[in-house]
Amino acid sequence: MKTRELAALRGQIDEADRELVAALVKRYDIVRQVGTIKQAQGIAVYDPKREGQVLDKVARLAGRPEYAAAVKAVYQTIMDEAKKLEK
């Protein structure tokens, strides 16, 4: 019974991962367009004010205070990787 529950929960994780990766690919496609514009206009890739706004937004979107720190940490990594892709 427990083994079946574990497999079922992991199936749900796999489905959530499919959605997360699709959303990440979409986000990075957009980020690279931002990078192209920034490069053309000589604007710095790193924008600390915008990163702060994104972190505040995602913490709010999480809607669950107990997940806010984890969501912010993941998003900082997402943006760190975005900066590499923009170069």
Ligand X SMILES: O=C(O)C(=O)C[C@]1(C(=O)O)C=C[C@@H](O)C=C1
- Binding residues (CB under 6 A) for ligand X: these are 31, 34, 46-47, 50-51, 54, 79, 82-83, 86
Terminal Cα distance for the chain, rounded: 50
Minimum CB separation of residue 53 from ligand X in Å reads 9
Q: What is the DSSP letter of 66?
A: H
Minimum CB separation of residue 74 from ligand X in Å reads 12
Please say which residue, 7 or 40, places its beta carbon nearer to ligand X: 40
- The answer to whether residues 51 and 30 touch, using CB atoms and an 8 Å cutoff, is no
C-beta nearest to ligand X: residue: 82
Minimum CB separation of residue 43 from ligand X in Å reads 8
- The answer to whether residues 79 and 51 touch, using CB atoms and an 8 Å cutoff, is yes
SS3 assignment, position 44? coil
